[in-house]
Structure 1
Amino acid sequence: MTETRTTCPYCGVGCGVIARVENGGVSVRGDDSHPANFGRLCVKGSALGETTGLTGRLLHPEVDDQPVSWDQALDRAGERLREIIDQYGPQAVAFYASGQLLTEDYYAANKLMKGFIGAANIDTNSRLCMSSAVVGYKRAFGEDVVPCSYEDIEKTDLVVLVGSNAAWTHPVLYQRLVQARAANPALKVVVIDPRRTATCDIADLHLALTPGSDAGLFVGLLDTIEPGRASDWPTERVADFCGLLPDEVATFYAWFTAAPRAVTLYTMGINQSASGSDKCNAIINVHLASGKIGREGCGPFSLTGQPNAMGGREVGGLANQLAAHMNFTPDDLSRVARFWGTGRLAQTPGLMAVELFEAIARGDVKAVWIMGTNPAVSLPDSHAVCQALAACPLVIVSEVMRDTDTSRFAHIRFPALGWGEKDGTVTNSERRISRQRAFLPVPGEAKPDWWIIARIAERLGHGAAFAWDHPHAIFSEHAALTAFENQGERMLNLGALAQLTREEWDGLTPWQWPVNREAFTRGRQLPVNPQPHGATGSVLYPFTLNSGRIRDQWHTMTRTGYVPRLMQHSDEPTVDISPQDAARLGLQEGQLARISAPRGVMVARARINEGQRVGQLFVPMHWNSCFSRQGKVNALVEGRCDPHSGQPESKQTAVRLMPWQPAWQGELWSREEMTLPMFVHWWRKAVTGVSRLTLAGDKPLLEWLLAHCTGQGWQLQIAQTGERSSLLAWHQGALMLGFWQGTQVPALAHGFIEAAFHTAPVELAERHALLNGQSPGERVEQGRIICSCFSVGENAIREAIAGGCDSAAALGAKLRCGTNCGSCVPELKAILSVRV
């Protein structure tokens, strides 16, 4: 048995993890000594050990879908890149990186693209979540630097959460807030969000404002703090603009101005807007004006969405940054060129994410290297992104998984190391650098991203500048660059770490790079003119669609989607709709619906949610073509961006919603993956060792399945009762396929079915029970899983309530639900509140 201290690869909280390898398996627990989480983990972090298998992994380099040696793949990539650069110039090449990369990988990619290929066309999926926050900080403080730490949340008098469902997106940090509030009952919490989310569970005030109107709320607050600065925005105008009651606005303003200390936490609800940069500055303005900045318990605190979005920003991984918080100014250009020893340094900013893929579509960019991200799902107008990639002459993908929506377009695939296999650093939301350490053997021929980048640099003739033999050498170079000719004008200065030996770097404990708090008090206020969002509704598209994360999934599900435990809470795309809108449309709970926009269509299952505003919908961002047919929400989202940050307005899209009652719905279990006819809608569910799909359609599937099974020579069992039918297929005593259908998705004993694929039933009675989809003596369903940490379903919770449990604590004592990460506690309270 071995144990390794490392860092979680999910959100920007940056939790410390202790990974244990024992008997070929991996288990994890929180690191009690890590200052980000002090031992606590969310359900995704707790399930990390379940993501380390090799099923579906890309293990060997491929060129044109054929396995090749590393030399062949690298030679081919180098040759094609050189041909394109020679013929069209360096601007015809682009890199698209990820907040999932380690800092050392990011540094290598940025150095190669900007420093030696000679164009700044390297952008990242962090553009989709953090770039407006970057602009806000740079305009106010002259540098992309976060002025807060997690301890400030525990030392404040008022916490304002804006556009953040932290209970689900940053659950461990949210639990720190829950604990801080319990320790200090005087601490007030305000949640500003159009939806009533799990985060509202601890809110003293929830401002369910009109989507996109946040800037008006904060401009009005600035006028309250400094009368006359925003005199056109009195409380009454703010209330009208934001769709709030004047008393609600006045209460918030009174609390903020009276609080000795205040922290504002903001994330995607602010950033993902066509005016996101201005919204960030509107928040920063009120902290500057009120003096609630530059001291403990105070400040505007942007929470990063990804594990290393901050590290990517440190090295210059955005197209409009240079490196080490330097910009495209003459002095900075000279400084970086001299440090890197290059005469080819890019002189102007490059293409940002959305415009980069538009340039690919136009043919201006001929080659794109995509590293550790899935833009065919995550970028807006995803159909257009797919069309651009399909037409691009050279698509290189560095990936962990072989089959993703993006890798399907790759001409060259490089197998990259995943979490637990790679070695380097990440920086969390509070500027804290932590180590990700390798504790698993290298699978197949996978390599670190930095190694792949360095080998391509060699083939382009720049090997001397990339002659690293270990990520420690890259980190040292990165740290030295932050300190190079830095006389205090740049707050990012990692000079204290630049001389670490390899042994010291290997043992590096979490280290927060320091800032001068007083410097933030001298920040610049920026005039902000609040604007409505750009999703103009119409008779054809009357709803406004919001997209975002759910509790147990991560990004585009390439890691979490294959973990059964993480599929328990929500296993299909859903659309949250208000009861009023559902009644008007005749839409029932759990019914399927089609959501359409001018760019595309998706199908989701309805959830009637009293916390949803009338006219507003919410859909998760995670599902993709590997897990559903027509489940991509970004197929609907327009590529409308903030003009300053280039960040897309993913939070507001004008759409139409129509109920869909298919002729049939069903469940298909099979030993092998199947390619179904195009008329079938399907959603993949995570099950170990077997394929499970939920299906729906208007054309019958049973005859197609019968023909398929007969063609395989399998023995069939068929049953039909009224509108329900089922099919089992056997081969040499082994269950090969099971299909159950009805007018609604049949209620089945899923554990019994799964077991049947691993141990064939021998008794005739068992086969008949299986044909019916039920097990003798087994309750058909647990109900919807509420607590994923301990797989506690709604039925068990209701039984415990009927048995006398009258609080979330009592339910936790009896069933353990809510006692690990705490993310399910708001739902437990909601069930308790409506108990009969």
Structure 2
Amino acid sequence: MPQANQLAHRDVLTTCPYCGVGCGVKASLQGGELSSVEGDREHPANYGRLCVKGSALHETLGEHGRLTQPRVDGVEVSWEQALTTTAQRLKTLREQYGNHTIAGYLSGQLLTEDYYVANKLFKGFLGTPHLDTNSRLCMASAVVGYKRAFGADAVPCNYEDLEEAELIVLVGSNLAWNHPVLYQRIKVAKERNPLMRVVVIDPRVTDSCEIADLYLGIKPGSDAYLFNGLLVWMAQRRKLDTLYLERHTEGFEEALEVAHQTAGSIAEVAAVCDIDPERLETFYYWFASQLHVVTLYSQGVNQSSSGTDKCNAIINCHLAGGKIGLPGAGPFSITGQPNAMGGREVGGLANQLAAHMDYHTPGALDLVSRFWATDHLTPTLPDGPGYKAVELFEAIERGEVKALWVMATNPAVSLPDAARVRAALEKCPLVIVSECAAHTDLLPYADIVLPASGWSEKDGTVTNSERRISRQRGMLPPPGEARHDWWIICEVAKRLGFSEAFSYSHPWEIFDEHARLSGFENGCENGPENGVDNSSIPGSPQRLFDISGLIGLGLEGYNALTPIQWPVTSASPRGTARLFEDGIFATSNRRAKLLAVHPQGPEQELSAAYPLRLNTGRIRDQWHTMTRTARAPRLMNHRAEPFMDVHPDDALAAGVDDQGLAILSSVTGEYRARVRISNAQRRGEVFVPIHWTDCFTKQARSSALIAGIIDPLSGQPESKQGAAALMPLPTVWQATLLVADGVTESSPWCASDYWARIPMQGCQRWQLAHTEQVDDWLAQLANWLPTPASVWSQDIVGGRLRAASIENGRLRWWLMIGPPCELPGLAWLEARFGDEVLSDKHRRRLLAGCDDGAVDAGPIVCSCHQVGQVTIANAIRAGDISIEALGARLACGTQCGSCIPELKSLIEEERPNARAKQTPNTEVA
């Protein structure tokens, strides 16, 4: 009998595991299961709002597709054997080849407590500096930019600044899709304050442009020219804050001189950026004329071979105008992952040590060594930085690194030049993978697989983009033998002989140690904010990151911890909302530094062989490599297949059609996907999403197209500015195959030249295409599937076939030979896979794929309420020609709001076809 408390309803406040917004979530449990989620109305990051991904979190849970048992060399083993083997093999390689041959690769999906013990083990006790994180791929340039300018990796702003600003500048950030809750927050603020302006600077016309007062469609990679030009324009028009520059900064003269050399006039900048000079000057005037300006920037700026300089070009303009340390003002880098910042706090990057200390921080090595008491166990901490992500896999390829432990990430997909990364993994003597998903592109390379817990099971803290620490609370037990990452790391550490240093019994103990290290011999609390300079005290460097005010919470206090922004000290026990309000920075002389920025174009050069500029990015309803989001079928409906957005002129030149299949190629690989012809693309450029992997499609990994070129300062790859060629994929047939879950373990149709797997409720949808003709489809189906066709209809001349298999009254598979544009709406068929016994009526309609008279709802636009494009268009034609009217009729746009830009586009397209609604009791003259 279940215990009463297991059946009782309870709500748990936790944090969303997706982007860096860090939304609070209220999760409802009933009968020991997570039944629903909604936004936490009290959490200051989102005040109850959630995007469609967050709203579907409860749909991504369950044991299916989870790793539940440790494996060693492909064989399931006990935890004791897995842990002992892991420790023995690490120890053997370390003794044979040295400390520096061991490496770790972590993830912004880890909690801070996981990150902390991983960094402590690798750098503190294994003595290797080679511990990096996938945050290197999205945030590293922003980190270096902040450190060069402010002396610390310190985001100065908070989300309230988005509501206080007079001007918001979005640079390289499709906020509407990538950080939807912040986008909606800005949208509401703009409605409340009609004087607020928004500028979008992006090569693509994205959904974020819906709220833009000005759009600058710059040439990819030209951001630094644009902001250098802004600095010059401000100086020429006497729009500088000279008093702020004199009192609080250094380096302005050199920065301005270099900016003059590279961006001397509006005409020059407009030509380099390929934008209209008048629109450019409008932006310059708006920026220079307003004090309360927030510049939001993300991967579009960071993922470049000169991303750090681009970040500093932005920061220069804020410092020069005194637009920092004020409500509604500052350069605001938006993180991509839920705990990218928490990982940086504990030293998760290869060039960091711990607690925001670097190897070059005076006294840091000695300080951390004494705090961790490492000297009696290992010779010393590493005396210099380790290999950053791309360099790390190059070192593995060279044979320098012999052992790699990967946690909660998938470098076989996410790193550039993926074929080279996979070759390195194949060569590595020992690959250990801690993972919660049973099927990823990385697992085939793993010698040891350690099943980890996931969201709703993990317990710890994360830090969002505004420095806000929040609790992510465990609600459910991990499935099978899955364990928490911190526990796995500590158990391996004990078997390596480090029991005393890793004897934690709960995450609160790790957090407490993390807090103590942040304040250990830290002059920051009595330092810059009070004008006391302790930087000369040996072994006592001042560090802005300090959460010593959270020491000693204990289990009860840790469980009750509410969101709080660091620094948290005795002087600021309730946290710190905004940094640098007093104009005192974390540099040695307490002045911010303006950097001389020499703009550079992309290193991946275009050529006759590869003439298209390649851009990569995220889409609205998916996350990273889809291991979580693809578990919620409704999140697959908005963009079901991998695609490429192509300008109409480029499509014509390449001979590709809208919704046809095509190949993008580069010097490093190939990408196959469906074409979406779009005027939102600049001519000569193409966009592809980052999410698809070999688990979901054939050759649609965007990383295969990107060369391993990095920013020399940050080590961040140039993932936004590749070079590619476009050509059609000449298939002779296309097909849609729906297969009930559990019907077959193999997928022989994957030999097709194109395939994409789309999870649905109770079945898997496969889109297939091939370049060779099939002479006998019924024979082909007999080779593919274990149950024969029960009903079929074939047009041999037209090359069309529809067939289905029914076994014991249940639908087992359904097939249509023909292009996807001929598909009926698949919701009806999806429901039939859930029928225990097909009714006679449903059997008769099976080949049609829909009920008699049913209307296809079209591609899903509103994922929250599953409203299709055709349904929306019909409502508009019926007279619902506003967002409010569509929401009242169909509920679309009423939850997360992410679909509103598309709704507005549909309204504009269909408005000429709309009929006027009759108003009751209206007199007609």
Structure 1 length-normalised TM: 0.98
SS at match of 1:397: strand
Deviation at 1:768, TM superposition (A): 4.3
Q: Are 1:718 and 2:803 counterparts?
A: no
Partner of 2:897: 822
Deviation at 1:813, TM superposition (A): 1.6
- With 336-345 and 268-277 compared, the bigger mean Cα shift is at 336-345
SS at match of 2:822: coil
Check conservation: 1:666, 1:695, Cα contact below 8 A: yes
**Which amino acid in structure 1 is aligned with residue 223 of structure 2?**
D
Separation in 1 of the partners of 2:63 and 2:610? Answer: 43
Partner of 2:812: 736
Distance 1:658 1:680, change over 3 A: closer
Partner of 2:21: 13
**Which amino acid in structure 1 is aligned with residue 472 of structure 2?**
Q
Q: Are 1:564 and 2:633 counterparts?
A: yes
State the Cα deviation string for residues 280-301 of structure 1 (Å, max 9, x = none).
0000100111110111111100
SS at match of 1:758: coil
Partner of 1:179: 188
Of 478, 485, 490, 2:543 maps to 490
State the Cα deviation string for residues 354-401 of structure 1 (Å, max 9, x = none).
011111112111111100001111111111111111121111111111
Of 125, 128, 134, 1:125 maps to 134
Q: Are 1:231 and 2:260 counterparts?
A: yes
Partner of 2:300: 269
Of 660, 663, 669, 2:738 maps to 669
Deviation at 1:704, TM superposition (A): 7.3
Of 906, 909, 912, 1:834 maps to 909
Partner of 1:546: 615
State the Cα deviation string for residues 453-488 of structure 1 (Å, max 9, x = none).
001111111111111000000000001101000011
Task: Tell me how many residue pairs correspond in the alignment.
Answer: 835
Distance 1:701 1:553, change over 3 A: farther
Q: Which runs of 5+ in 1 are unaligned?
A: none
Q: Which runs of 5+ in 2 are unaligned?
A: 1-8, 237-255, 525-541, 567-575, 913-925
Separation in 2 of the partners of 1:511 and 1:767? Answer: 58
Deviation at 1:581, TM superposition (A): 1.7
Q: Are 1:459 and 2:495 counterparts?
A: yes
Structure 1 or 2, whichever has the larger Rg, is 2
Q: Are 1:699 and 2:772 counterparts?
A: yes
Q: Are 1:322 and 2:353 counterparts?
A: yes
State the Cα deviation string for residues 285-319 of structure 1 (Å, max 9, x = none).
00111110111111100000000000001001000
SS at match of 1:532: coil
Deviation at 1:770, TM superposition (A): 1.3
**Which amino acid in structure 1 is aligned with residue 686 of structure 2?**
L
**Which amino acid in structure 1 is aligned with residue 416 of structure 2?**
P
Deviation at 1:700, TM superposition (A): 4.0
SS at match of 2:406: strand
Separation in 2 of the partners of 1:749 and 1:248? Answer: 44
Check conservation: 1:709, 1:729, Cα contact below 8 A: no
Deviation at 1:260, TM superposition (A): 2.2
Deviation at 1:585, TM superposition (A): 2.8
Of 353, 363, 382, 1:331 maps to 363
Distance 1:498 1:655, change over 3 A: same
Check conservation: 1:26, 1:52, Cα contact below 8 A: no
Distance 1:702 1:792, change over 3 A: farther
Check conservation: 2:752, 2:768, Cα contact below 8 A: no
**Which amino acid in structure 2 is aligned with residue 242 of structure 1?**
C
Separation in 2 of the partners of 1:253 and 1:679? Answer: 52
Of 754, 758, 761, 2:834 maps to 758
**Which amino acid in structure 2 is aligned with residue 390 of structure 1?**
E
Check conservation: 2:494, 2:502, Cα contact below 8 A: yes
Separation in 1 of the partners of 2:465 and 2:180? Answer: 14
Check conservation: 2:173, 2:296, Cα contact below 8 A: yes
Deviation at 1:342, TM superposition (A): 0.7
SS at match of 1:670: strand
**Which amino acid in structure 1 is aligned with residue 861 of structure 2?**
I
Check conservation: 2:216, 2:275, Cα contact below 8 A: yes
Partner of 1:797: 872
Deviation at 1:713, TM superposition (A): 6.1
Structure 2 length-normalised TM: 0.88
Q: Are 1:170 and 2:179 counterparts?
A: yes
Partner of 1:771: 847
State the Cα deviation string for residues 620-640 of structure 1 (Å, max 9, x = none).
000000110111111111111
Matches within 5 A, 1:553-592: 553-592=622-661
State the Cα deviation string for residues 123-142 of structure 1 (Å, max 9, x = none).
01100000000000000111
Distance 1:753 1:503, change over 3 A: same
SS at match of 1:558: coil
Q: Percent identity between the aligned chains?
A: 52
Check conservation: 2:176, 2:208, Cα contact below 8 A: yes
Of 142, 146, 152, 1:143 maps to 152
State the Cα deviation string for residues 641-683 of structure 1 (Å, max 9, x = none).
0000000000011000112241111111123343225234211
Distance 1:337 1:492, change over 3 A: same
Check conservation: 1:749, 1:775, Cα contact below 8 A: no
Separation in 2 of the partners of 1:10 and 1:171? Answer: 11
SS at match of 1:226: helix
Deviation at 1:568, TM superposition (A): 1.0
Separation in 2 of the partners of 1:420 and 1:10? Answer: 13
Separation in 2 of the partners of 1:640 and 1:831? Answer: 40
Distance 1:445 1:762, change over 3 A: closer
**Which amino acid in structure 2 is aligned with residue 500 of structure 1?**
L
Matches within 5 A, 1:361-372: 361-372=397-408
Deviation at 1:5, TM superposition (A): 0.2
Distance 1:288 1:705, change over 3 A: farther
Deviation at 1:175, TM superposition (A): 0.7
Separation in 1 of the partners of 2:274 and 2:550? Answer: 50
Of 581, 584, 593, 1:517 maps to 581
Of 305, 310, 315, 2:336 maps to 305
Check conservation: 2:811, 2:838, Cα contact below 8 A: no
Separation in 2 of the partners of 1:18 and 1:73? Answer: 36
Separation in 2 of the partners of 1:703 and 1:77? Answer: 52
Q: Are 1:357 and 2:432 counterparts?
A: no
Q: Are 1:624 and 2:696 counterparts?
A: no
Partner of 2:290: 259
Of 690, 696, 712, 1:643 maps to 712
Q: Are 1:156 and 2:126 counterparts?
A: no
Partner of 1:435: 471
SS at match of 2:357: coil
Separation in 1 of the partners of 2:775 and 2:400? Answer: 48
State the Cα deviation string for residues 130-182 of structure 1 (Å, max 9, x = none).
00000000001111111111111111111111000001000001111001111
Deviation at 1:771, TM superposition (A): 2.7
SS at match of 1:694: strand
Separation in 1 of the partners of 2:606 and 2:617? Answer: 20
Distance 1:713 1:336, change over 3 A: closer
Deviation at 1:761, TM superposition (A): 5.5
Separation in 2 of the partners of 1:350 and 1:26? Answer: 44
Check conservation: 2:435, 2:449, Cα contact below 8 A: yes
SS at match of 1:691: strand
Of 340, 344, 348, 2:384 maps to 348
**Which amino acid in structure 2 is aligned with residue 505 of structure 1?**
Y
Deviation at 1:440, TM superposition (A): 1.1
Separation in 2 of the partners of 1:256 and 1:719? Answer: 64
Separation in 1 of the partners of 2:63 and 2:277? Answer: 56
Matches within 5 A, 1:273-284: 273-284=304-315
Deviation at 1:25, TM superposition (A): 4.2
